[in-house]
Structure formats: C-alpha cells, structure tokens
Copies of this chain bind each other. A is one copy, B any other.
Amino acid sequence: MEAVLTAAVALLDEAGQSALTFRALAARLGTGVGTIYWYVPSKDELLDRATDHAVGAILAAVEEQPLSDDPIADLREMAITLFDAMMDRTWLAAYFMRNTDVQGNSLRLYEKLGQQTLRLDLTPRQRFHAVSAITGVVVGTAADLGAELPQEVLSGETNRVEYLSRYAETWRKLDAAAFPFVHEIADDFAEHDDRDQFLAALELTLAGLRLQAETP
C-alpha cells in the first residue's frame, strides 16, 4: 500500500500526470494491474491519496518551521514553503485544489495556517476567508506553472526565455493605442520570474490582511 503510493508519486515527479497509468505503475512495482485495484478503488482515489502523501512531506517542512512574534510573517513563510514545494512537483497544485476529501494532511496544513490567524484580531469568518485566500494564492499561482510551456519543456532554461521573448515581441507589434497596458508590461513579462509573481500576489493579500487585523 505504502509502496503503491510512493511509486505513484515517483512516476508523477518524473514525467508528470500523464505518466501515471495503471500499467506503468504495475510495471514499476513488478505486479499486475489487477493487484493495484485491490488496494485502490479507482484512479481518482489513487490521485487523492498520492496527493495527500506528497502533502505530508510539505506539512512536515511547515511544522518544523520556527515561529516569530509576527503571525503574518509566519504565514508568509509557510506560504512560501508551500509554494516552493509545489514548484518541484507541479502536478501537486492541480490535484491539491481538486481535493474532494479535505481530510488528512491537507486538513492539518490548513489547521497550521489557521492557527496563525488565531493570533490576529479577526472574526472567525475573517480567519476562514484569510486562510482560503492565502491557499488560493499559492495553489492558483502554482497551478499556472504546471500548465505553461507546451513543448519547450523538453529543453533547458534558455528556451523559456526565448519563449517569453517571442510573446513579448508579438505584444509589442500590437496597436499601441488599443493595447497600452500590454505594451507597457511587455518588457517585464519577457523577463518575469514566476516566484516573484507569486511573492507579489502574496504580499498584496498579506498587506490587506494586516490592514484588516489592525483596523477595528
């Protein structure tokens, strides 16, 4: 059982979600496909449990994180830890948000984030919304990364730069009067870093949260 999950996660890590098939998994485990169905009722369940398995590792990293006297700073660190872990496992974000059973490690992670909001002057509802907003920023941004790069993923980093430059070039050719914004950010887009983009979005949400906690 444990072996099934670790093998599934390994397949997902190595070649993405399309690589996780029951036949590939059986071959890796040296068994038949029917055997896997004895442990897991369906692929959906397999994905859910593999996700929870991977979230467990993230949770461990978040829990051993030292706490400061600023709850919002702690929330920031936790969100960054979560995001960085998802950058290494781009498939995670897609299944994390689709998690039908909010049980297990996801729930514990949720709790861990929520505990920091308990240290802020907020209503329960505000805390609930705050944690949802933060996880939304993390998962939403991470899910973006898992998707982009169609075939250019086959090569190294240079192709990503060229890929973005090509887009920026297309944008610059657009009518400047009709697309003033796209023109202005073309340069920034061409050299944008996904992690910076995430950090900026997170900072906006945390700034809003701090404001909410400080105003009566």
Contact residues of A with B, CB < 8 Å? 97-98, 100, 102-103, 107, 110-111, 113-115, 117-118, 124-133, 136-137, 139-141, 143-144, 147-148, 150, 167, 170-171, 178-182, 184-185, 187-189, 192, 196-197, 200-201, 203-209, 211-212
Instruction: Name the residue in A141, A181, A200 with the highest tally of chain B Cβ atoms < 10 Å from its Cβ.
Output: A181
Contact for A97 among B147, B187, B203, B204, CB less than 8 A: B147
Instruction: Name the residue in A97, A114, A144, A201 with the highest tally of chain B Cβ atoms < 10 Å from its Cβ.
Output: A201
B201–A204 CB distance below 8 A:
no
CA distance A209 to B97 in the complex (A): 25
Contacts of A131 in B (CB 8 A): 181, 185
Chain A contact residues, majority secondary structure: helix
Question: Given A187-B124, A188-B124, A212-B207, is A129 in contact with B180 using a C-beta cutoff of 8 Å?
Answer: no
B130–A181 CB distance below 8 A:
no
B127–A97 CB distance below 8 A:
no
Contacts of A171 in B (CB 8 A): 107
Closest B residue, CB atoms, query A211: B207
